[in-house]
């Protein structure tokens, strides 16, 4: 993907000299959030910049293998105030893999206090907010890690990518494309992957690190949810799943254990929309997936105050599980009545 030359020039100018840089990514950081942040951090460090990568809360255990992930600051656990200082002193703040500062929760408040830093967005979500000075916003890109690859390729050439950077970038590309199976694939993405492979990364191992590293509890919870909690609507074209805190405790839940559950109903022929409702302490997280023209970004915006991509989106609900499900089922009927399903 060819990124805007005008933006590339602006970025080159911005990166002249030694700068204090902060790289931020979204709440509940996933493989793409962390992979893109870490690879970009490594690139900037090599130029001599002082860089901190910060995420609002903890990442799931199956991402712990990504090189240098332990150096990423988790804002919620940052009692020493390293993140707050880094943000306050930053010359440049990069926002990776999210489209509005509201996706940062409490971390968003401290960003607002630094009005001096140049704000750069590098992202692939729809509807980016106008709160950035330089915007690399490409909703057609399959991942932010792929955008970071393109950026590095255009700035310094693919040969500059190290094996550690390639592992981080591959983690993001693989997870955001469902291991290279979604509709966002392009020939250039595979050329990018070929260049990452040149660095010597072990692709089967990276796959195993993410997809074959779950807990026993996760496997049992998965069986339970599909067997007992999957409800089909509209002649088997819409499905929803739900998980209460009590159920999660029963299966020794660890953050990330529900990863991928929402995709499973879409393995059923004719399924067009799938949702999972996961209970948290003070809200219910809504996660949506769809096939083809069904636009869950629109669905999430309209009914759950959220957003994302056309075929993968999310939001929140602040009523009970029963009311959330009722609201969802009503929304589905409304959506269908408009011919959107």
Is residue 24 involved in binding ligand 5GP (CB under 6 A)? no
Query: Could you give the CA distance from residue 27 to residue 4 in angstroms, rounded to a whole number?
Result: 28
| Binding-site string for Mn ion from residue 6 to residue 45, where x marks contact by CB under 5 A and - marks none | --------------------------x-------------
- Does the footprint of ligand 5GP cover residue 134 (CB under 6 A)? no
CB closer to ligand 5GP out of 144 and 195: 144
- Phi/psi for 288 (5° steps) reads -125, 140
Residues of this chain, 81-100, that bind Mn ion according to CB under 5 A: 97
Least Cα distance to 182 among 96, 124, 221, 257 occurs for 124
72, 314, 325, 328: residue in contact with ligand 5GP (rule CB under 6 A)? 314
Q: Could you give the 3-state DSSP secondary structure of residue 22?
A: strand
Region 113-132 residues binding ligand 5GP, contact defined as CB under 6 A: 125
241 contact, one of Mn ion, ligand 5GP, none, CB 5-8 Å limit per kind: none
C-alpha to C-alpha distance for 311 and 215, rounded to whole angstroms:
28
Interatomic CA distance for residues 318 and 300, integer angstroms: 14
309 binds ligand 5GP (CB under 6 A): yes
| Partner in contact with 128, chosen from Mn ion, ligand 5GP, none, beta carbon below 5 to 8 Å by kind | none
Q: Which stretch binds ligand 5GP (CB under 6 A): 53-61, 194-202, 225-233, 307-315?
A: 307-315
Measured between alpha carbons, how far apart are the two ends of the chain, in Å?
Answer: 31
- Helix axis angle, 144-156 relative to 5-14, nearest 10°? 70
Nearer to ligand 5GP, 195 or 324 (CB): 324
Round to whole Å and give the CA distance between 235 and 256.
31
């Amino acid at each position: 993907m060819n990124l805007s030359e005008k933006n590339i020039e602006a970025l080159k100018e911005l990166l002249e000299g030694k700068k204090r840089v902060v790289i931020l990514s979204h709440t509940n950081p996933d493989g793409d959030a962390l992979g893109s942040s870490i690879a970009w951090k490594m690139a900037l460090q090599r130029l001599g910049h002082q860089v901190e990568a910060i995420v609002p809360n903890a990442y799931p255990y199956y991402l712990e293998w990504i090189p240098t992930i332990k150096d990423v600051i988790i804002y919620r656990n940052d009692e020493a105030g390293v993140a707050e200082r880094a943000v306050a002193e930053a010359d440049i703040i990069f926002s990776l893999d999210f489209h509005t500062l509201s996706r940062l929760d409490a971390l968003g408040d401290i960003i607002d206090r630094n009005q001096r830093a140049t704000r750069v967005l590098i992202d692939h979500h729809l509807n980016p907010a106008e709160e950035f000075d330089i915007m690399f916003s490409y909703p057609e890109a399959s991942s932010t890690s792929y955008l970071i690859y393109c950026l590095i390729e255009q700035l310094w050439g693919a040969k500059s990518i190290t094996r550690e950077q390639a592992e981080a970038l591959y983690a993001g590309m693989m997870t955001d494309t469902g291991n290279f199976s979604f509709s966002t694939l392009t020939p250039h993405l595979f050329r990018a992957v070929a260049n990452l492979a040149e660095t010597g990364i072990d692709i089967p191992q990276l796959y195993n690190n993410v997809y074959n590293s779950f807990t026993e509890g996760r496997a049992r919870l998965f069986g339970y949810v599909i067997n007992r909690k999957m409800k089909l609507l509209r002649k088997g074209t819409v499905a929803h799943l739900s998980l209460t805190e009590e159920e999660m405790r029963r299966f020794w839940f660890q953050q990330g254990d529900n990863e991928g559950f929402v995709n499973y109903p879409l393995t059923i022929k004719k399924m067009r929309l799938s949702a999972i409702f996961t209970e948290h302490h003070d809200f219910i997280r809504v996660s949506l997936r769809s096939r083809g023209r069904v636009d869950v970004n629109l669905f999430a915006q309209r009914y759950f105050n959220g957003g994302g991509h056309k075929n993968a989106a999310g939001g929140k609900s602040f009523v009970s599980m029963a009311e959330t499900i009722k609201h969802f089922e009503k929304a589905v009927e409304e959506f269908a009545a408009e011919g959107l399903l």
